[in-house]
């Protein structure tokens, strides 16, 4: 099997060109094997690029545990770069993911990916909850660099009110007026990842909703680099939400499976 390895601010993916529909999407053990860092290739998730009747292509995303998952923002940015590599697109594209159609542009290796509109942000005493294509818990903490994201994130991910379905968990600390540090525990990976695209998108919108930022563009420092999120607001809905950041093709290879 031929595969490509991509990363977007440290969030890494095995990407396979499945336009011939040869990959067995029901084989969770195979997907988990390919994502395994000891026995397989190693990745936070696996992405299939497939044909689409109307859009440029279709994105199918699986978590590292082998199960098909909700939207992955950094994965979406990486598959746009992969589509350009395959010469399916030039600088603009529309593709379908599990949460609907996404528009994107790519300039060199930087991808601007339009995320879903958000009209509901639940605000509680010490956190916010919203869905940016995947569910996200957003919580401020102090001394983020020393914070045990895996232990504390796991407690929240499986705790009330998320239970079995679970939620991704983002811990946030303010750096400057419009710059924030974010560390994320991702369900499906069941650990901290170096970056989460839907996570920083959720953080940006939650910061604006709670009045912690006034601008409509936020800089998010993640463990794997820097992302930006911009957005508009109309009729209490966040729209034209853009996730902006770099992508890199790390290598191409073949694996026996």
Read off the CATH number of the domain in which 45 is found: 3.10.310.10
Domain residues for the domain of 52 are 2-113+247-254
What is residue 10's three-state secondary structure?
A: coil
Which phi and psi (to 5°) does residue 93 adopt?
-155, 160
Residue 22, Cβ neighbours under 10 Å: how many? 9
Q: What integer pLDDT is reported at residue 163 of this predicted model? A: 79
How is residue 161 written in tokens? 């009110």
Q: Annotated catalytic, 78?
A: no
pLDDT tens digit string along 206-244?
999 999 999 999 999 999 999 999 999 999 999 999 999
Q: Annotated catalytic, 196?
A: yes
Asked whether residue 100 falls in the same domain as residue 127, the answer is: no
| Selected catalytic residue, list 35, 78, 196, 257 | 196
Total-model pTM: 0.95
Tell me if 153 sits within 8 A of 117, measured CB to CB. Answer: no
The residues with which 168 forms a beta bridge, in sequence order, are 136
| Selected catalytic residue, list 35, 72, 78, 257 | 72
Q: What integer pLDDT is reported at residue 251 of this predicted model? A: 97
Query: For the chain, how many structural domains are there in total?
Result: 2
pLDDT grade for 160, boundaries at 50, 70 and 90: confident
Task: State how far the Cα of 132 lies from the Cα of 135, in Å rounded to an integer.
Answer: 7
pLDDT greater than 90 at residue 5: yes
Asked whether residue 97 falls in the same domain as residue 142, the answer is: no
Residue 256, Cβ neighbours under 10 Å: how many? 4
Asked whether residue 125 falls in the same domain as residue 107, the answer is: no
């Amino acid at each position: 099997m031929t595969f490509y390895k991509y990363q977007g601010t440290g969030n890494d993916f095995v990407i396979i060109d499945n336009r011939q529909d040869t990959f067995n999407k029901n084989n969770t053990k195979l997907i988990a094997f390919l994502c395994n860092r000891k026995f397989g290739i190693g990745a936070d998730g696996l992405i299939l690029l497939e044909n689409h009747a109307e859009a440029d292509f279709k994105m199918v995303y699986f978590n590292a545990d082998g199960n098909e998952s909700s939207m992955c923002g950094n994965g979406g940015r990486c598959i746009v770069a992969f589509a350009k590599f395959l010469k399916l697109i030039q600088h603009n594209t529309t593709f379908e993911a599990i949460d609907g159609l996404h528009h994107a542009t790519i300039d060199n290796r930087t991808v601007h990916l339009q995320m879903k509109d958000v009209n509901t942000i639940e605000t509680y005493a010490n956190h916010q909850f919203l869905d940016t294509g995947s569910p996200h818990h957003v919580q401020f903490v102090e001394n983020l660099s020393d914070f045990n994201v895996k232990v504390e994130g796991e407690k929240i991910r499986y705790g009330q009110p998320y239970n079995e379905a679970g939620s991704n968990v983002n811990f946030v600390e303010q750096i400057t007026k419009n710059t924030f540090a974010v560390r994320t525990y991702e369900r499906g990976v069941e650990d901290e990842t170096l970056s989460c695209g839907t996570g920083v998108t959720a953080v940006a919108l939650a910061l604006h909703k709670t009045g912690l930022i006034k601008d409509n563009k936020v800089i998010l420092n993640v463990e794997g680099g820097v992302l930006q999120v911009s957005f508009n607001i109309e009729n209490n809905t966040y729209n034209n939400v853009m996730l902006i950041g770099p992508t890199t093709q790390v290598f191409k290879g073949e694996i026996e499976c």
